[in-house]
Amino acid sequence: MVRAIEDRHSASVYERLPAVIVKGRGSILWDINGKEYIDCMGGYGVAIVGHCNPKVVSAVEAQSKKLITCHGSLYNDARANLLEKITRISPKGLDGVYLCNTGAEAVECALKLARRYSGKPEVIAMTRGYHGKTLGALSATWNQKYRTPFMPLVPEVKFAPFGDAEKVRDAITEKTGAIIVEPIQGESGIYVAPDGFLKELREICDEKNIVLIFDEIQTGFGRTGKMWACEHWNIIPDVICLAKGIAGGLPLGATLAKREVMSAFKTGDHTSTFGGNPLSCAASCATIDYILEENLVERATSLGIVFKDRLNKIKDKCRIVRDVRGLGLMLAMELRFDIRNILIGGIERGLIMLYSGKNILRFLPPLVISKEQIHKAMDILDALVSEDEKSRIEVRSKE
């Protein structure tokens, strides 16, 4: 029933997995038949503090009885609490905040802000970069599959190879106002910035008065074993985009900027009706408190080692695995073949994974996942990959 209704009425824009999910707690999801799954998709990285985190649930419950909506033209206590909390943990100096509702919106804000501040329209984005699918964010997203049907996009966006600072430098002109980059590219398959790259970008931007934007929508809030991925290289951008895990599952996005940069926005320049609503703000406060109180950032590091070690063991055993990479609990396993069978096999055996392109498995589990759950998930994956390899060898020997 559920699947039939969704298939009939919903815009068919999502590649679906065959499961109807009705309930979640921590790292576990249940389908409509009561079957249990270990969730290594984590709502594409949203469920950082786990599904229905009790602290988030009670904050939402309390706030929903007090006030749910409050436009930005009025002051609000829940919003003020969040602004204080988020700037206390933000990269040094980034204490100007614009609140919106999604990742793509956080990027839209960053792009407009960079134009407003620098007065220069050109943006340099990275090959394989992903920043969302609204027209502005899409213009900085690299994948042709997402772009081509919607041409023309916002003009003056150029792409330079991720990891090659000299090529970035070559792409810069008088009109370049911003460089936008994910410190670890998520959507395209977990590619970690090579050492030195972000530092060189910082130097280039300082030298040429260009706004450096880090898109940490997927890497933020402890995912990679640091509160912000940019801490792995000790680089501070001028603007940072946040969303996904920020509010424990509720829709919220944020663009943080140096005060001087954020002050380029004047009244009316950029607003959002739902942006900074009390309900999402209260959920975000609870999420940040939980991350700090439960040391989830350190947990992502230590569990990331366990997780990656298991992935590497599968790689050592199976020739169809080409690469394992990532930091903290932001990991990928690249195969030599299409992974659709493995994803579906996971659903059958109680493991939900995520794809990045045709042949890359991505893992963004809640940071509250237990060691036992990781081992159980990896036992399932180990069996699936081994069986997939075996069936490919059998098919080959029959030919």
Ligand X SMILES: *Cc1c(COP(=O)(O)O)cnc(C)c1O
Q: Closest separation between CB of residue 216 and ligand X, Å?
A: 7
Longest CA–CA separation in the chain, Å: 71
> Closer to ligand X at the Cβ: 240 or 311?
240
Cα–Cα distances in Å, from 395 out to 321, 337, 383, 386? 18, 14, 18, 14
Q: Closest separation between CB of residue 279 and ligand X, Å?
A: 17
Residue with tokens 């402890």: 222
> Closer to ligand X at the Cβ: 132 or 225?
132
> Closer to ligand X at the Cβ: 131 or 202?
131
Residue whose C-alpha is closest to residue 51's, from 27, 33, 22? 27
> Closer to ligand X at the Cβ: 213 or 320?
213
**What's the rounded Cα separation, in Å, for the pair 270 and 278?**
19
**What's the rounded Cα separation, in Å, for the pair 295 and 291?**
6
Out of 37, 98, 117, 130, which residue is the one contacting ligand X (CB under 6 A)?
A: 130
Q: Are strands 184-185 and 176-181 parallel, antiparallel or unpaired?
A: unpaired
Binding mask 205-224 for ligand X (x = CB under 6 A): ----------x-xx------
Question: Does 132 contact ligand X by CB under 6 A?
Answer: yes
Out of 38, 86, 104, 211, which residue is the one contacting ligand X (CB under 6 A)?
A: 104
Q: Closest separation between CB of residue 119 and ligand X, Å?
A: 25
Residue with tokens 């996009």: 153
Q: Closest separation between CB of residue 253 and ligand X, Å?
A: 7
**What's the rounded Cα separation, in Å, for the pair 204 and 287?**
35
Residue whose C-alpha is closest to residue 125's, from 91, 172, 191, 190? 172
Q: Closest separation between CB of residue 371 and ligand X, Å?
A: 26
Q: Closest separation between CB of residue 370 and ligand X, Å?
A: 25
Task: Answer whether 315's CB lies under 8 Å from 383's CB.
Answer: no
Point out which span in 102-110, 111-119, 226-234, 371-379 binds ligand X (CB under 6 A).
102-110
Q: Closest separation between CB of residue 72 and ligand X, Å?
A: 20
Token duo for residue 21: 């999910």
Residue nearest to ligand X (CB): 103
**What's the rounded Cα separation, in Å, for the pair 392 and 222?**
38
Out of 115, 128, 131, 258, which residue is the one contacting ligand X (CB under 6 A)?
A: 131
Task: Provide the total of helices (H) and of strands (E) in the chain, helices listed first.
Answer: 14, 17
Kindly tell me the burial class for residue 249, based on how many C-beta atoms sit within 10 Å of its own C-beta (0-12, 13-18, 19 or more): buried
Binding mask 175-204 for ligand X (x = CB under 6 A): -------x---xx-----------------
Give CA angle at 310 (306, 316), nearest 5°: 140
Out of 102, 118, 255, 277, which residue is the one contacting ligand X (CB under 6 A)?
A: 102
Question: Does 42 contact ligand X by CB under 6 A?
Answer: no
**What's the rounded Cα separation, in Å, for the pair 122 and 331?**
32
Q: Considering only residues 234-253, where is the footprint of ligand X by CB under 6 A?
A: 243-244
Token duo for residue 272: 């959002």
> Closer to ligand X at the Cβ: 147 or 169?
147
Tell me which residues touch ligand X (CB under 6 A). 102-104, 107, 130-132, 182, 186-187, 215, 217-218, 243-244
